[in-house]
Amino acid sequence: MTHPIINDLEKRYTTKRYTTQRIPQDDLDVIYEAMRLSPSSINSQPWKFIVIESDEAKERMHSTFENKFQFNQPHIKTASHVILFAYNPKYKRDDYAQVIDADTKNGRTQSENREQAFGAFAFVDMNTDEQGNNAMWTKAQTYIALGNTMHAAARLGIDSTPMEGVDAQLIGEVFEHELDGYICDVALVLGYHDDTEDYNAKLPKSRLAKEQVIQVL
């Protein structure tokens, strides 16, 4: 099948070695805006995207691989950028109020309908346990943003490495201030692969056959 969408997704793969080439600011701006525009249930946006760009931030991120997942550590200082995808494990009515306030500001919701707009919050209640934890739900939303961002990067010809191989606990300590209670257990490296060193660039793409994952009824 030949189609620009398929070309982009066929080309996309998990880069294993990066060059030090930097992503142009114009492309970064598109990536950031694509992340921000990601869809989420009831438009909750229960996420924070923390971009590791400066040498100092990279040093901090690098240090979080002290105990495990060292195979991912080289990307941090070599690749152009790393984005921490963090979710709110206890999404509350106050958090949703920020969304509704944005809606009111841009004319999507009339201010007299503010209370009514909270009706959608029932979806949060359905996914919240007695301790106020709804991490399974907010984490899932954040993976929509991850899927959306990887697609956007592929369109821009930017290579990427999604990493669950990160130390959520150490990231929580080192970036405690920035995370402010959010949890990061997945990050996305962005940059350009090293043609000679990246063994994965040359391997064929592998997916289960269509018959194994898609049924048309």
Footprint on residues 44-63 left by a copy of itself (CB under 8 A): 45, 47-54, 56-57, 60
36 binds a copy of itself (CB under 8 A): yes
- Inter-axis angle of helices 25-36 and 135-155, to 10 degrees? 150
Phi, psi of 53 (to 5 degrees): -125, -50
157: left (phi over 0), alpha (psi -120 to 50) or beta: left
Q: How far is the CB of 197 from a copy of itself (least distance, A)?
A: 18
Site for a copy of itself in 62-91 (CB under 8 A): none
Site for a copy of itself in 129-168 (CB under 8 A): 135-136, 139-152, 155-156, 162, 164-165
118 binds a copy of itself (CB under 8 A): no
User: Residue 195's CB: how many other CB atoms inside 10 A?
Assistant: 10
Contact by Cβ (8 Å): 103, 117: yes
Q: Which of 30, 97, 170, 201 binds a copy of itself (CB under 8 A)?
A: 30
14 binds a copy of itself (CB under 8 A): yes
Chain Cα centroid distance, residue 65: 19
Q: How far is the CB of 21 from a copy of itself (least distance, A)?
A: 19
Judged by CB under 8 A, the stretch of 16-24, 72-80, 99-107, 190-198 that binds a copy of itself is: 99-107
Strands 47-52, 81-87: pairing is antiparallel
